[in-house]
Amino acid sequence: MTVPKPSFILIENLKLYVIKEAVYMKTISKEEYRNKVYGCWLGKNIGGTLGAPFEACREVHDVEYYTHNFSEGVLPNDDLDLQLSWLCAAERFGNSVNAKILAEYWVSTIVPNWAEYGVGKNNLRFGLEPPVSGGFCNAFKDSNGSWIRSELWACLMPGHPELAVRYALQDAMIDHADEGIYAEVFTTALESAAFAVTDYEELIQIGLSYIPADCGIAKAVRLAIECYHDHLTWKEARIRLLTQIPGSFGGQLRLPNPDNLPQGPWGYDAPSNIGLTVLAWYYGEGDFSKSICIAAGCGEDGDCTTATLGSVMGIILGASGIPEKWLKPIGDEIKTCSLNLQSSMLKVPKTVTELTNRTSCLMPSFMTGYFDLYSSGAEIVLNTDKELYDHPIRDWTIKPPFFTDEYPENFQTFIGENAIMKLQVSVTEGIRIHEGETRQLKLHAENISGFVGDPLWLKLKWFLPEGWSIDTGTNTALFLNQYHCGSGNASAVAQITAGPADGAITTVLLEVTAAGRPGRIYIPIQFVCEA
């Protein structure tokens, strides 16, 4: 449904409505929304079951239907499992859920210790928080474990990728960095936008707007599209993609490699597999069955590519638009393989219907201002057109901020925030350190007190271990302007020199206060003192 609305300027708590031009908003009913959420989760189960037999294959296959034993029903898949833990976290903490909360659920409820899952968990248990946990000593930081768990955020914030991607970023940094993060942001953005847009070419461009143009994910996506427009067959496109952007997933089991595809760097798998997902979507040309069969036939991380494509096409088509032949062999059941079912933190849904109902009930708490639970129509307001792309939400600023400005400078970044300010401290040369060595600390502050908020004088106080020093001194100040007619940001640089280690992890503590404000932020900056 599309209805006219007045454009308006929001000044603090005052809405000043000014009719300037015909502005339109798109809405969907609760029933249509639920149909799309149900389609998403059914598509996830369908794709995971179809693609699982081709996981880690480097051969191409002509797939037409399920190849597993139908008596098994739906196959369990970590792609869905992980999101059931996130669902429980979101039900408990609502829209306050963040990386630190999800990290606790990760350690308590996720069983596998393989690849990035295990490295992330090991870092968390060592005492390293996100985003450091996702990248430190993690050869799999660019792999596939994050973008396969993006659907929940899209379903909780339908038609609002600008909201959903912020949770995707918090999610991915637990056990990924760099391409692993960009991959989840990309899939989350296009999946959320799929509640408002059905054209796959536009959805892919929306997803690209939220990630750096020069990252590996973006390059793989553009290459897949280029292959299609060069009129290659999908099998030829697969070879070109996996040759120019090689991954490691399809080569890990030493299975046949008849096309002599190169082996990429170990763990560098998100770019090639996102590329294969887009390739299958383009060559499937909007047909659900054709698209997911191509995705499965491409192999590599076949369950991930096929499940993600099945879910986004399930959003577009809704459950009612998914061909019945894909539903009969697997039914409505959810099977798990990666969850600690004994954990009191989990209440795992047993069916896709239950998962859909719980997702739908949770959505209003993430969509404040876009869904009125008590109105007679109770329709959900979706973004449209340019609003679906990454765009600055503040005008009258020196440098309007985009979502892409929010990526940490590197994964060795420590973050703190309260109601009025957000700070990041990046260790540009890494957190490994020995006595006598120096590291540069880059501090970035953002004023989040409101568009027409208060300029702030920040007082920085460093608490150093005995024998450590910092070139700025332990007490300094930093001016942080508001966004309105300002930048809303401030930066500073300091050099810290290590003294004796006081443990395997040595912590430098930064206390930040704003003059005249009661709140304090404490940011522990952790250095690993290796032998």
Whether 169 and 291 share a structural domain: yes
Looking at the DSSP bridge assignments, the partners of residue 524 are 509
pLDDT at 395: 53
Q: Is residue 118 included in any domain, yes or no?
A: yes
Whether 236 and 90 share a structural domain: yes
Q: Please, what is the average pLDDT of the chain?
A: 91
Whether 416 and 357 share a structural domain: no
Q: In the sheet that 469-470 helps form, which strands lie side by side, from edge to edge?
A: 413-417, 421-427, 438-447, 489-497, 469-470
Burial of 13 (0-12, 13-18, 19+ CB in 10 A): exposed
Whether 177 and 303 share a structural domain: yes
Whether 437 and 303 share a structural domain: no
Whether 37 and 139 share a structural domain: yes
Whether 205 and 123 share a structural domain: yes
pLDDT band for position 449 (cuts 50, 70, 90): confident
- Compute the average pLDDT of residues 383-410: 78
Whether 119 and 48 share a structural domain: yes
The predicted-structure confidence for 233-289, as pLDDT tens digits, reads as follows 999 999 999 999 999 998 877 788 999 999 999 999 999 999 999 999 999 999 999
User: Is 50 exceeded by the pLDDT of residue 478?
Assistant: yes
Range from 92-96, 206-210, 324-328, 402-406 carrying the lowest mean pLDDT: 402-406
Q: Is residue 386 included in any domain, yes or no?
A: no
User: Is 90 exceeded by the pLDDT of residue 358?
Assistant: yes
Listing DSSP states for 293-317 in one string gives: HHHHHT-BSHHHHHHHHHHHHHHHH
Whether 154 and 289 share a structural domain: yes
User: Is 50 exceeded by the pLDDT of residue 48?
Assistant: yes
Q: In the chain, how many domains are there? A: 2
- pTM for the model: 0.93
Kindly report the backbone phi and psi dihedral angles of residue 363, in degrees, each rounded to the nearest multiple of 5, phi listed first: -50, -45
pLDDT band for position 22 (cuts 50, 70, 90): very low
User: Is 80 exceeded by the pLDDT of residue 21?
Assistant: no
Q: Is residue 260 included in any domain, yes or no?
A: no
Range from 24-33, 152-161, 278-287, 500-509 carrying the lowest mean pLDDT: 24-33
Looking at residue 21, the DSSP 8-state letter turns out to be S
Domain end (from 296, 328, 362): 362
Identify the sign of the CA torsion 151, 155, 156, 158. Answer: positive
Whether 120 and 186 share a structural domain: yes
Q: Distance between CA atoms of 174 and 227, rounded to whole angstroms?
A: 34
pLDDT at 2: 53
pLDDT at 16: 27
- Compute the average pLDDT of residues 107-120: 96
Q: Is residue 483 included in any domain, yes or no?
A: yes
Residues 6+ apart with CB under 8 A from 243: 261, 262
Return the CATH number at 290: 1.10.4080.10
pLDDT band for position 113 (cuts 50, 70, 90): very high
User: Is 50 exceeded by the pLDDT of residue 4?
Assistant: no
Q: Is residue 357 included in any domain, yes or no?
A: yes
Residues 6+ apart with CB under 8 A from 96: none
Kindly report the backbone phi and psi dihedral angles of residue 15, in degrees, each rounded to the nearest multiple of 5, phi listed first: -95, 115
- Compute the average pLDDT of residues 431-435: 95
Domain that holds residue 242: 30-251+268-362
- Compute the average pLDDT of residues 307-313: 98
- Compute the average pLDDT of residues 291-314: 97
Return the CATH number at 513: 2.60.40.10
Whether 423 and 340 share a structural domain: no
